[in-house]
Structure 1
Amino acid sequence: MITVHGPAARVLTAYTDLLVERGIRDATLESVARRAGLSKSGALHHFSSVSALRSALFVELRAQAHRDAELMRETPEGAVRYYLTSSLDRDSELERLFDAAYRIAQTGDEGALEVLRSCRDDWLDVLVTATNDPGLARLVLFAGDGMNYNTLMSRPEGDDLLTADHVGTLVGTLEGLQGRGSRD
């Protein structure tokens, strides 16, 4: 749920999509405007530069990741199951924003790196609270990252490596580790 509305939302979505699909070099104001169905001056009316678009993307990512961490904290299914299940979702708006920020971070952009770290830290904080074990929380975080990475590589016709059914087994394994004691 993008927090900006109307044409500005279309511009931000177009920028995000271009970053994810084609990379930072192709996410120019001209291509963003064209993708959003606006003229360049129409896009500039909402965002004065690519830098302003980048900042808006970071604000949006931060807001959505914060909401996601709150959902994790409150979900009856538990934060671990929530995090691992959501790691299978490659098509959510949050995932696309995260991927776009990651593309920007690959250029060494400190703002992108900072927002990505902040998102990670929020999710880790929820997992530490949920598991009461910092080591296990990190294991869940890393497992979710690995699941997300492997979901990206899944075949379009389906893949047996990682399915929603595997999440239950993985959660059970992680719960079995809980209480055995792990180290930071």
Structure 2
Amino acid sequence: MPRPPAAREKLLAAYCEIVAGEGERAATLDAVAERAGVSKGGLLYHFKSKDALADAVIEGLHETAAADRELMAAAPEGPARYFVRGSLEATSDVDTYFNAVLRLATAQHPGATDALAAIHNEWLALIRDEVGDEAVAEAIMLIGDGLYYHAALPGAGDAASTASHFRSRVEHVLEQVEVLRAAAARQR
């Protein structure tokens, strides 16, 4: 797939930043163009409307999540541990798109909620295939979701943050993932 033009990438990044930080209403075409350092005409060359920008962000989420799922499926530690460990970071391309689409979903943008549900279900399927038990897979997902919540909070990089606390104890959390995986294996 050809690499998108730099202006297009800057516009998507600016849109994601505004939507995630200030909400969908703040992401006017003028605000996005200004944040990206691109003329409004340049923005309109790439995206004919705010809806086109939102749709491109949803597409970006699907693409980056698909690439991450490939890594998750191939992870030597297994999908469950990969998911939980990765939930402690909120700075990847997947996270950039995920947080913007989450805000789009709260603004009821068409397709945003469906995109989040589809990606959640794909992650869940990988974990379920590994552990062999729906309830255990869901518990592991909830552990990851809880960690992600803390990692996505403002100030998550500060030493006193809850995210820093959990990062320092990640191996203990992953031990609990192993307990869940072992329990599921015994039930099979």
Structure 2 length as normaliser, TM-score?
0.89
- 1:155 & 1:74 partners in 2: Cα distance? 28
Runs of 4+ in structure 1 displaced over 4 angstroms?
none
Tell me the residue number matched to 1:158: 159
Kept after mapping to 2: 8 A contact 1:80/1:140: yes
Written as runs of structure 1 = structure 2, the 5 A alignment for 1:1-184 is 4-153=4-153, 156-159=157-160, 161=162, 162-181=165-184
Count of equivalent residues:
182
Identify if the C-alpha distance between structure 1 residues 108 and 30 changes in structure 2 by more than 3 Å, giving closer, same or farther.
same
Question: What is the identity, as a one-letter code, of the residue corresponding to 2:123?
Answer: W
- 1:6 & 1:152 partners in 2: Cα distance? 27
> Percent identical across equivalent pairs?
30
Give the Å deviation of 1:14: 0.8
- 2:183 & 2:35 partners in 1: Cα distance? 52
Question: What is the identity, as a one-letter code, of the residue corresponding to 2:76?
Answer: P
Query: Which shifted more, 68-77 or 150-159?
Result: 150-159
Give the Å deviation of 1:155: 5.3
Identify if the C-alpha distance between structure 1 residues 155 and 18 changes in structure 2 by more than 3 Å, giving closer, same or farther.
closer
Structure 1 residues not aligned, in runs of 5+: none
SS at match of 2:169: helix
Structure 2 residues not aligned, in runs of 5+: none
Question: What is the identity, as a one-letter code, of the residue corresponding to 2:71?
Answer: L
